[in-house]
Each structure stands twice: as C-alpha cells, then as structure tokens.
Amino acid sequence: MYGSNKKWALYIVLIIFLLIIPWLMGNYLAYLFNLSGIYIIAILGLNILMGLGGQMFFGGVAMMAMGAYAAAFLANDLCFPFYISIPFSGLITCILSLSITFPALRVRGLYLAMVSVGFHLILEQIIGGWGSFTGGYDGLSLSKASLAGIEVASDRAFYYVVLVTVVLSLWSAVNLMKMRVGRAIWALGQDPVSTSVLGINVTFYKIVAFMICAFYCGISGGLMAHYLRFITPDHFTILTAIMLLVGMMVGGWGSLMGSVAGGFFVTFLPEAIGLFKDYFLGATTALYDLQATISGIIIIVVVLYIPNGFAEWSKDLRSKWGYNRSERR
C-alpha cells in the first residue's frame, strides 16, 4: 500500500515537473527540448520497425521529410490548422511510404539497408528538384500555428504541443505493443520463419510495422514543420538518419522508453560538439565534419561497449511492458 502511494506521488511530481519545465528555462533550452521531443517520436517509430520488427530500414528520416512537407502543404495550401494537419501528415506519410514498403517486403537484411538508403537519396533528389511544390533547396515556410485563434508560436507555447504529442505517442506505442499487433511485430523481429510457422501472417505485420513507423515519423516531421516554420532538404539528411540511429542505440535498441533518452541525445549531442568546438578548436574547423567524425566515433564506441544502451539500466521499466528481448550471446 505504501509502495503504490509512493509511485503515484512520483508520477504526480513528474507530471508537475513536465508542465512547468518551460518556465524554468530560457528560450533556447526550450527549443532544444522541443526538438528532442520531435525526435523522440521519430525514434519511437523506428524502434518499433527496426528494434522490435528487426527490419534494417534506414528510411526513417525520409519519412519525416514526407511528413514535414505534407504538413506544410496542408497548412499552407489547404489552410488546415496544425492539430489537423499533423495527424493527416502522418497518414499521408503512411500512404506515400507504401512505395517503399512493398519493395522492402521482398528484401531483407543488408539488401534492405541498401535499398532504404537509396530510397532516402531518391527522395532527397525529388524534394530538391520539385521546386514548385517543395521550394527545393531554398526551403518552404509555414505560417504560425494557431489554436482557436491564439497563436502557438513561442518555444514555450509549442512545448505543450510537443509534450502532448510525445505523451500520446508513447502511450499509444506502449499499448500497441501490448496488443496482438505488438507481439506479432516482436515475434517477426525475433525470427520471421518461426513466426510464419506459427500461423502469423508475417507479410501483413511487416506492412503494419512499416505503417506504424511511417505514421510516427510522419507526425514527427509534421510537428517539426510547424515548429520550425521553415523546412529544407538539409533538415533531413543522411547524417540526421545516422544520428537517429545513434540515439536508438544509446537509448536502447527496441526500447520504447529508451526513445526518450535517444531523442535528447540526438539533439544535445550536436550542441555539445558545437560547444566543444567553440571552446577548444576555433572557427576554422568545419562543424559538419567535426560532427560527423565525433558521431562516427560515438557510434563505434556505443556498438562496441554499450550495445544495449540505457536499456541495461531500465530493465524494470521494460518488464513493465511485458517482454524482454533475447539475450545477447
């Protein structure tokens, strides 16, 4: 009895803390938190598809791009308010992602990885080239988001939007994974052959996994579009995809709660690198290359030494949502 009271107390403290955070920090930090939240959602989708579903699919950032540009279109051309355009951008991303889902069904492992990278590159070309629709490399801007006439444009205000979306995403993901769908996807990731032998339609659940990922990544992109109010292909590069991957590993491969850690890591690491550069290396060092080098090294270090990321720490959290991944040999 005492234990559960303590737990509730903790939750309430956590909720209050989350609600008042933006007032405790400056605008820039709030901006970073918002960005983290956006990435958390994308990483969530990727964790479901790659971590649980075992699909070596590196096109998550491409899906984010689709969501972002879809949201921009819905908001600019069709004047959808942000709370409508974001969910719809998720749906549009799902539909558009079918183009890569079906080929992806036919290949697995390394081939899928190559194909998905190709998918990303092709999409990058399309976005860059279709200037009339996407604004090409010059980018596309959106007007301020508004809710029932009130502007939701400041970092603090948008924080609540992000918070709500993240919470909803996490909650839906956790529950989704507890349902039959989630278990099927997990089984698929463990061993597709055995799973099919059990009578589970592997193809169907693969598609479902892709769609879930597409939806989350699409929403993430849409959220980003409305928040930054300006999107270019540079927001969705291969480097971003790599960073998401690193975030996934650090947070815990396949760990839904680890996505939170991953999202923060993805946002704060480049900042840390930038600070490091400013203090120690001076302006002549190219930031992009430095980021690349350090990210690469971090990836290697994480793979070599912390393959399970924060998941190692959060074992009890994981037993909460039901099943543990098989042990690393």
Partner 1 sequence: MLIQLIISGLALGSVYALIALALVLIYKGSRLLNLAHGELVTIGAYFSLAIIVQIKLPYLVALFPAVVVAGIFALIVERIVIRPLAGSEEWPILIATWGVSITIRGLIGLIWGHAPRPLPSPFTSQHLRWGVYSISGQELVIIITSLLMLLIFYLFFTRSKSGLGMQAVADNHLGASLCGISVRRINALTWIVSGMVAAVAGITVSPIFFLHVDMGFGLFLGAFSAAVLGGFGSIIGAITGGYLLGVIQTVTGGYMPAAIKSSVPFVILILVLVLRPTGIFGKAVIERK
Question: Which residues here bind partner 1, judged by CB under 8 A?
Answer: 56, 103, 106-107, 109-111, 113-115, 118, 121-122, 239, 242, 245, 249, 253, 285-286, 288-300, 303-304, 307, 328-329
4 vs 326 by CB, closer to partner 1 = 326
114 vs 164 by CB, closer to partner 1 = 114
**Smallest gap from residue 288 Cβ to partner 1 (A):** 7
**134 close to 142: Cβ distance less than 8 angstroms:** no
CA distance linking residue 200 with residue 190, whole number of Å = 13
**Smallest gap from residue 98 Cβ to partner 1 (A):** 16
And the tokens for 102? 């079906």
Tell how many helices (H) and how many strands (E) occur in the chain. 14, 4
Q: Which residues neighbour 38 within 8 Å (Cβ) at sequence distance 6 or greater?
A: 162, 220, 223, 224, 227, 263
Cite the beta strand spans of the chain per DSSP E.
140-141, 146-147, 150-151, 230-231
SS3 146: strand
92 vs 104 by CB, closer to partner 1 = 104
103 vs 322 by CB, closer to partner 1 = 103
27 vs 293 by CB, closer to partner 1 = 293
What are the C-alpha distances in Å from 285 to residues 274, 289, 293?
A: 10, 8, 12
**Smallest gap from residue 65 Cβ to partner 1 (A):** 18
**Smallest gap from residue 66 Cβ to partner 1 (A):** 19
**Smallest gap from residue 307 Cβ to partner 1 (A):** 6
Residue 8, judged by CB atoms within 10 A of its CB (0-12, 13-18, 19+), counts as exposed
Q: Could you count the other beta carbons within 10 Å of the beta carbon of residue 138?
A: 11
**Smallest gap from residue 292 Cβ to partner 1 (A):** 3
15 vs 303 by CB, closer to partner 1 = 303
